[in-house]
Structures are given as C-alpha cells and as structure tokens.
C-alpha cells in the first residue's frame, strides 16, 4: 500500500508514522495557549520532530466541542508563519521511499487555509470536516498532489450501525475525491474518535478498527488525551497518557499506520515496541 504526500512516498506494511500535534490556538482542549506565538510553536514542533514525529500537524482553530470558530484571516495569521518557518528548517521532502522526511500537515476545515498552507510548504491536509459537499478542499489537495486525511465526523451520535455507516462514508468519499482529482494513493482514513460518537460507539470502533483495512488505505488513529478516556476512567486531561498509549498500541496491532499524539516521545516508544511484538506473530 502506497501513501503519497507531494514528493514523499511511504509504503505500508512498514513502520507506522507518528504525527505530533502543534496547536497554535488559545482554546484547544489539552494544550490551548501554549504555542500561540510563532517562536513557541516552531520550537515545540522541532522538539516533537527530534522526539521522532514524522508528521507535524499544525492547527489554528480548535475543534473541541463548543469552541469558538475563527475567521479565515485569523487562522491564516496563526498558522502560515509557523509553516513557513518549519518548511525552511526541517528536512526537505524526498522521492526515496527508504528515507522518512518530516512532513507538515495542516489541520483545517477551510479550503483557503489548506491551499495557503500547501503553498507555504505543507504536504498533507488533515480535514476534520470531510463530510462536505463542496469539492474546493479536495481540489486544493489535488492541485498540490498533497496527502489528504479524510476524517469521519457526525454532528449527533445517532447511528443504526456505526461501523457500517463509517465504512460507507469512506467509500463514498473515496469516489468523490477521485472525481475531484485526488488519487487513492493520497488518501488516509480517520474514523474520527471523539467526533460525534458515544463512549460505546468509540470503544466499538477501536475494537474493530482492523475491519477498515478492507478499504486498502492507511488508517490514522487519533485518541491522544481525548475526553472518552475521562468518561471511562475519570482521568483529567493531564492524566490520560497511559490510556492514550494503550489505544495507540492496540491500534498498531489492528493495522493503523499513523498515530496522532501530543506525547510524541512516549508514543514513539510504545509504537515501536508494539510493532516489534506484532512482527513476531
């Protein structure tokens, strides 16, 4: 299985990628306000890269429930200088499959922000609003041959069968993306943990994540510090690392190829251990 993000190519099965989270926001649920200025955001991103993050996911608008939306102008003001600086400082993309450059991802719901970020050096669009009818976001990804993370989200967690509905959503989006010029090789699927799912639905998706491998595309798992952990264990946001790592390692066993995380050093260690054990089965 090939995943292509601009000039960079990754072949799976192979070592999973760890995506480090860089929130350039005042109100993200876990780390809002810590990386508001460019210097702090760049320093944090470079630290995550040193810890082993192969993707740096830059976001300028919180997607937590109840967060205040920001204008496109404000989101651009937050993220573009960070992406420009990082693009100049991290490894350049390469065509060599064997090497793993550090790639920049833009976490946005706005096509205008995605396009500007790609122009500034991003290689991946992380679209948490993939349940869209307009194809402007997809055409931006197509124009730059960018990687595209298609996340499932639903406003209200009402499903007849959550597994079937998420699967059908991905199949439909793959067709629409292809029609907009996005090759299947550019697409990654994310089941959207924490986005319009109850605790029971979340646990079911995690338990049966391997079933999505039938789609033939890489799977991204984003569970880091999310609120479903507190619903199950009572742990506040700054005490959710053990549960986050448990989900990440189980995700690796189920076939996830990208793990999105706040705590990169710990996640890289857990992922590599899980891969070593799974490789012996």
- Active site (annotated) includes residue 226: yes
Contact 22, 48 (CB under 8 A): yes
Is there a catalytic annotation at residue 217? Answer: no
What is the separation, in whole angstroms, between the first and last Cα of the chain? 21
Q: For strand 17-23 and strand 55-59, is the pairing parallel, antiparallel, or unpaired?
A: parallel
Residue 230: domain span: 2-278
Q: Which residues contact 219 (CB under 8 A, 6 or more apart)?
A: 188, 189, 190, 191, 209, 212, 213, 251, 255, 256, 257, 258
Given the residues 226, 231, 240, 272, select the one marked as catalytic. 226
Average pLDDT, integer, range 22-35: 67
Band (95; pLDDT cuts 50, 70, 90): very low
- Residues 218-262 have pLDDT tens digits of 999 999 999 999 999 999 999 999 999 999 999 999 999 999 999
Query: How many domains does the chain divide into?
Result: 1
- What's this model's pTM, rounded to 2 decimal places? 0.91
CATH of the domain at 107: 3.20.20.20
Which band of pLDDT confidence, cut at 50, 70 and 90, is reported for residue 67? Answer: confident
């Amino acid at each position: 299985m090939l995943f292509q993000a601009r000039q960079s190519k990754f072949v799976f099965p192979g070592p999973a990628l760890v995506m480090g989270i860089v929130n350039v926001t005042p109100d993200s649920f876990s780390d809002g306000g810590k990386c508001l200025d460019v210097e702090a955001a760049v320093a944090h991103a470079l630290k995550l890269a040193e810890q082993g993050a192969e993707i740096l996911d830059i976001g300028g608008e919180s997607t937590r429930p109840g967060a205040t939306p920001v204008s496109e102008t404000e989101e651009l003001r937050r993220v573009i200088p960070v992406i420009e600086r990082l693009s100049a400082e991290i490894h350049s993309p390469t065509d060599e499959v064997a090497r793993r450059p550090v790639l920049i991802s833009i976490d946005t719901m706005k096509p205008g922000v995605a396009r500007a970020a790609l122009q500034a050096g991003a290689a991946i669009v992380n679209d948490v609003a993939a349940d869209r009818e307009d194809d402007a976001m997809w055409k931006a990804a197509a124009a730059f041959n960018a990687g595209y993370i298609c996340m499932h989200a639903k406003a209200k967690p009402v499903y007849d069968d959550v597994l079937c509905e998420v699967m059908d959503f991905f199949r439909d989006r793959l067709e629409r993306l292809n029609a907009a010029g996005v090759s299947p090789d550019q697409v990654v699927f994310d089941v959207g943990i924490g986005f319009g799912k109850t605790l029971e639905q979340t646990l079911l998706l995690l338990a049966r994540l391997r079933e999505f491998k039938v789609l033939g595309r890489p799977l991204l798992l984003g569970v880091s510090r999310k609120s479903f952990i507190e619903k199950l264990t009572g742990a506040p946001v700054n005490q959710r690392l053990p549960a986050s790592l448990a989900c990440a390692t189980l995700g690796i066993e189920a076939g996830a190829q990208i793990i999105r995380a706040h705590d990169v050093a710990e996640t890289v260690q857990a992922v590599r251990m899980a891969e070593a054990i799974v490789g012996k089965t």
